[in-house]
Amino acid sequence: MTRLLVINPNTARAMTGLIGRTARAVAAAGTVVDAVGNAMGPESIESHYDEALAVPGVLAEIRRGGYDGYVIACFGDPGLDAAREIADGPVIGIAEAAMHTATLLGRSFSVVTTLSRTIGRARDLVHRYGFERACSGFHACDVPVLEVEAARKPLFEACARAAESDGCDVLVLGCAGMAGFCAEFSAELRVPVVDGVSAATKLAESLIALGLKTSDRGEFAPPPPKRYSGPLSTFGTQ
């Protein structure tokens, strides 16, 4: 039995429900998926400020442990590196997972995200993960995160625009709330459309099945023990 914890870094219960359904729809028969929303922080993550304030709650879930692997289900991959330092199993971010998956399906991919202001973060992640050559563009549907599940038209138009203008082989959906549109958009646009929640779930399962977890040498070794004060005092690593 494999146990995966899929963490929605925002506090939107409906989105946590969608994320859990998406992960369970692709999980293997022997995998138990628990989906959890953030116990504190923003109701959606649409800015650097939101992202920074989502990280403590993500790390609190990782610190609880008890799973074979973890998925951080927000396209900014908030807290991913910090989570890898403390997790007792592999930690996969949905943006990283979607990008890796896209490069296995074509020479180029474009990212379609929510608000235009989040394109910079997506661009940073493309560089952080080493996909500069593979990524052919970034597009926004300009729909707020919490409205994206009901925004088929603007999202489809942004995907069609990306496929047309970038000539990309693959599309990557830049929000955990977009998962429900994958198959439909892929059929209509005749291009593979990758959802990060599904991709991250399967990648986490694969690493666990291979008996692999984050290296604890060097950068992702456990943090040096120290005291934390104020509201973060429970995060002490003494």
Residues near ligand 5HY, by CB under 6 A: 10, 44-46, 74-76, 113-114, 118, 145, 174-176
Q: How far is the CB of 235 from ligand 5HY (least distance, A)?
A: 22
Token digits of residue 188: 């209509």
Q: How far is the CB of 174 from ligand 5HY (least distance, A)?
A: 6
Between residues 19 and 33, which has the closer beta carbon with respect to ligand 5HY? 19
HSE of 2, CA atoms in CB hemisphere, 13 A = 23
Q: How far is the CB of 14 from ligand 5HY (least distance, A)?
A: 12
The angle subtended at Cα 16 by Cα 43 and Cα 231, nearest 5°, is 50
Between residues 68 and 182, which has the closer beta carbon with respect to ligand 5HY? 182
Q: How far is the CB of 185 from ligand 5HY (least distance, A)?
A: 17
* Cβ–Cβ < 8 Å for 162, 110: yes
The angle subtended at Cα 108 by Cα 105 and Cα 113, nearest 5°, is 95
Between residues 75 and 181, which has the closer beta carbon with respect to ligand 5HY? 75
Q: How far is the CB of 237 from ligand 5HY (least distance, A)?
A: 27
Distance CA 200, CA 92 (A): 6
Between residues 53 and 209, which has the closer beta carbon with respect to ligand 5HY? 53
Between residues 74 and 168, which has the closer beta carbon with respect to ligand 5HY? 74
Total Cβ atoms within 10 A of residue 73: 33
Least Cα distance to 159 among 125, 198, 186, 126 occurs for: 186
Distance CA 139, CA 155 (A): 10
Q: How far is the CB of 117 from ligand 5HY (least distance, A)?
A: 9
* Cβ–Cβ < 8 Å for 110, 169: no
Between residues 119 and 160, which has the closer beta carbon with respect to ligand 5HY? 119
Distance CA 73, CA 176 (A): 6
